[in-house]
């Protein structure tokens, strides 16, 4: 059985790495995009570059940057290299590493592919690109003796992928329970703690720079599903399409629902969850009820958190900034340094295809009811096999916990309740397991 080191040596022998070991004194970076992240990288290099050079012996220089509009004013830009809006001019440049911070799938995909084909290492922060093309781009990188690194694409400032790359080698991650979208976490924290409506909380997130101009991908859960798909691919070596993950957004969650959940000892959080079994994964992204003692329950505001449950190393929780120019650029720079050291990304050993299976969890059931309707509705739920427990009645509301059920089963209960005039509203939140 070939060792990982053996594989790396062979790959390097097959095609010389673009960057020789030991680290060169000067790394030329081609930067795709000078928005929040691209400017964050320029700022980081301006402020920390000399210190890094003194410590690591590597000098980083952005020798060219590609943007849409080169005349746009920017707080931070490469001090010497040109800023161009001509992709052909950028492509003519000679780089030791290309950093992709354009976002979206095109032209990012075409540009990244061009550089990987030339054997140039690429560092990206782009989860949409990886969720759609990650496995193919990794194969392209490996086939051309180079690498594609993406620490910043999942939980931006948290060094999650490098923990998985360098540590926990003898452990298997069985379960991931995370908050991977800072905008959703910020908005839901405001709804729960301050009783704000969605619109107010999103407006504040905009003012504080925690939400994009169009936060649809964040609030719909799609952004978190893309990140969870990348994480599952890293953990299993097998691609999981983001659209195979059951995904619900937080847009409908109300202050009242947060208060009802809190009365039963739960916090409603924007959860990304995956259970990894042999050849199968059970995953969801949704506003879910997290028991107050759980490691992620108290992580609020715009923070991200990742809780990994492993078979041998026990639980591990990482908390940090999930967005922002500097935290994201910091993870990018770690990747560029890894590239400069000549580190290829550790290839994950491919396993059997991953089968997405339905996730079974208990559910927190919240019904808005007519007065005196609770008993008959509870009887109906029992006859449907839902077995409600921990039942709490509040004015015109009934809250209960169900036995573990799939989403499909819960949807059939919703269908059962919908014709009842006594039930004005029925809401169901998955309950996160574990502590």
Ligand X SMILES: NC(=O)c1ccc[n+]([C@@H]2O[C@H](COP(=O)([O-])OP(=O)(O)OC[C@H]3O[C@@H](n4cnc5c(N)ncnc54)[C@H](OP(=O)(O)O)[C@@H]3O)[C@@H](O)[C@H]2O)c1
Q: Tell me if 301 sits within 8 A of 186, measured CB to CB.
A: yes
Closest approach of Cβ 189 to ligand X, in Å? 18
Residue selected from 10, 56, 72, 389 as contacting ligand X according to rule CB under 6 A: 72
Of the listed pieces 119-127, 139-147, 172-180, 381-389, which binds ligand X according to CB under 6 A?
119-127
Per-residue interface string for the shown chain with ligand X, residues 138-177, x marking contact by CB under 6 A = --------------x---x---------------------
Of the listed pieces 97-105, 115-123, 236-244, 258-266, which binds ligand X according to CB under 6 A?
97-105
Nearer to ligand X, 106 or 408 (CB): 106
Nearer to ligand X, 287 or 325 (CB): 325
Task: Compute CA 66 distance to the chain's CA centroid, rounded to the nearest angstrom.
Answer: 25
Beta-bridge partner residues of 285: 247, 272
- 318 membership: H or E segment, kind and range: strand 315-321
269 belongs to the catalytic site = no
Of the listed pieces 323-331, 347-355, 367-375, 392-400, which binds ligand X according to CB under 6 A?
323-331
Cβ–Cβ contacts within 10 Å for residue 346, how many?
A: 16
Residue 101 found at the interface with ligand X (CB under 6 A): yes
Of the listed pieces 51-59, 102-110, 241-249, 396-404, which binds ligand X according to CB under 6 A?
102-110
Closest CA to 196 of 286, 256, 248, 250: 256
What would the two tokens of residue 302 be? 């715009």
Residue 189 found at the interface with ligand X (CB under 6 A): no
Instruction: Provide the angle, in degrees to the nearest 10, between the axes of the packed helices 255-263 and 182-194.
Output: 80
Total number of residues shown for the chain: 435
Burial label, 311 (beta-carbon count in 10 A; 0-12, 13-18, 19+): exposed
Of the listed pieces 51-59, 66-74, 160-168, 374-382, which binds ligand X according to CB under 6 A?
66-74
Residue with CB nearest ligand X? 35
For residue 25, report the phi and psi dihedrals to the nearest 5 degrees: -75, -20
- 9 membership: H or E segment, kind and range: helix 4-14
Q: Tell me if 326 sits within 8 A of 211, measured CB to CB.
A: no
Nearer to ligand X, 323 or 369 (CB): 323
Name the active-site residue from 127, 227, 269, 321: 227
Sign, CA dihedral 43-44-47-49, equals: negative
Residue 125 found at the interface with ligand X (CB under 6 A): yes
Sign, CA dihedral 80-85-88-90, equals: positive
> Which ranges of 237-324 does DSSP label H, i.e. alpha helix?
255-263
Closest approach of Cβ 117 to ligand X, in Å? 19
Residue 102 found at the interface with ligand X (CB under 6 A): yes
Residue 185 found at the interface with ligand X (CB under 6 A): no
Closest approach of Cβ 106 to ligand X, in Å? 8
- Residues 180 and 88: their CA atoms lie apart, in Å, by 35
Nearer to ligand X, 103 or 215 (CB): 103
Closest CA to 287 of 315, 311, 327, 255: 255
- Residues 266 and 262: their CA atoms lie apart, in Å, by 5
Q: What SS3 state is found at 234? A: helix
Q: Tell me if 304 sits within 8 A of 322, measured CB to CB.
A: yes
Residue 301 found at the interface with ligand X (CB under 6 A): no
Number of residues that bind ligand X (CB under 6 A): 23
Per-residue interface string for the shown chain with ligand X, residues 350-389, x marking contact by CB under 6 A = ----------------------------------------
Closest approach of Cβ 45 to ligand X, in Å? 15
Closest approach of Cβ 126 to ligand X, in Å? 3
Q: Considering only residues 25-64, where is the footprint of ligand X by CB under 6 A? A: 33-38
Residue 78 found at the interface with ligand X (CB under 6 A): no
The angle subtended at Cα 189 by Cα 187 and Cα 192, nearest 5°, is 110
Residue 67 found at the interface with ligand X (CB under 6 A): yes
Residue selected from 15, 68, 197, 389 as contacting ligand X according to rule CB under 6 A: 68
Closest approach of Cβ 332 to ligand X, in Å? 9
Of the listed pieces 67-75, 347-355, 380-388, 411-419, which binds ligand X according to CB under 6 A?
67-75
Residue 306 found at the interface with ligand X (CB under 6 A): no
Closest CA to 429 of 273, 301, 200, 313: 273
Q: Tell me if 175 sits within 8 A of 316, measured CB to CB.
A: no
Catalytic residues: 227
Q: Which residues bind ligand X (CB under 6 A)?
A: 33-38, 66-69, 72, 101-103, 107, 125-127, 152, 156, 323-324, 328
């Amino acid at each position: 059985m070939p060792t990982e080191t053996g594989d790396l040596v062979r790959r390097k022998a097959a095609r010389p790495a673009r960057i020789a070991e030991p680290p060169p004194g000067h790394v030329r970076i081609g930067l795709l995009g000078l928005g929040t992240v691209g400017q964050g990288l320029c700022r980081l290099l301006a402020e920390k570059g000399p210190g890094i050079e003194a410590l690591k012996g590597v000098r980083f220089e952005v020798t060219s940057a590609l943007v849409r509009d080169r005349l746009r004013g920017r707080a931070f830009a490469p001090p010497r290299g040109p800023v161009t809006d001509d992709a052909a001019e950028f492509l003519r440049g000679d780089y030791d590493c290309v950093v992709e911070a354009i976002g979206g799938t095109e032209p990012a995909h075409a540009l990244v592919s061009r550089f990987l084909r030339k054997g140039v290492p690429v560092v990206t922060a782009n989860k949409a690109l990886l969720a759609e093309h990650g496995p193919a781009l990794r194969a392209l990188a490996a086939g051309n003796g180079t690498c594609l690194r993406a620490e910043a694409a999942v939980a931006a400032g948290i060094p999650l992928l490098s923990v998985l790359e360098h540590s926990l080698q003898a452990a298997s991650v069985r379960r991931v329970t995370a908050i991977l979208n800072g905008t959703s976490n910020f908005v839901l924290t405001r709804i729960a703690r301050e009783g704000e409506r969605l619109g107010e909380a999103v407006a504040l997130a905009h003012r504080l720079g925690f939400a994009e101009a169009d936060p649809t991908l964040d609030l719909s859960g799609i952004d978190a599903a893309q990140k969870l798909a990348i994480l599952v691919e890293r953990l299993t070596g097998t691609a999981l399409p983001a659209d195979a993950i059951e995904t619900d957004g937080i847009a409908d969650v109300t202050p009242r629902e947060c208060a009802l959940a809190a009365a039963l000892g739960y916090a409603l959080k924007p959860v990304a969850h995956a259970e990894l079994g042999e050849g199968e994964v059970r995953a969801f992204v949704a506003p879910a009820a997290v028991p107050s003692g759980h490691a992620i329950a108290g992580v609020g505001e715009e923070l991200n958190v990742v809780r990994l449950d492993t078979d041998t190393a026990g639980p591990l929780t990482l908390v940090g900034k999930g967005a922002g120019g500097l935290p994201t650029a910091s993870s990018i720079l770690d990747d560029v340094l890894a590239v400069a050291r000549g580190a290829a990304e550790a290839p994950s050993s491919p396993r059997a295809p991953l089968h997405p299976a339905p996730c079974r969890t208990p559910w927190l059931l919240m019904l808005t009811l007519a007065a005196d309707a609770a008993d008959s509705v509870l009887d109906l739920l029992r006859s449907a096999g839902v077995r409600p427990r921990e039942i709490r009645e509040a004015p015109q509301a009934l809250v209960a916990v169900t036995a573990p059920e799939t989403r499909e089963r819960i949807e059939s209960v919703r269908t059962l309740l919908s014709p009842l005039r006594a039930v004005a509203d029925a809401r169901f939140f998955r309950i996160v397991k574990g502590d």
